[in-house]
Amino acid sequence: MAQKARKDRAKSNAAALTNLHIGTLVVNTLFVLFHFLLRKRSILLYVLLSIPSFVCEFVLESSGRPKYDPSTKALQTAGEDLSAPGLTEYMFDVIWVTWASVVMVILFGNWGWLLWTVVPAYGAFKGYSLLGAARGMAGLQGQQPDNAAPVAGNRRQRRAA
Q: Residue 4: which pLDDT band, with cuts at 50, 70 and 90?
A: confident
pLDDT of residue 98: 93
Give the residue, 156 or 31, on which the prediction is more confident.
Answer: 31
Contacts of 83 (CB under 8 A, 6+ apart): 12, 16
Q: What's the pTM?
A: 0.74
Burial bucket for residue 160 (CB in 10 Å: 0-12, 13-18, 19+): exposed
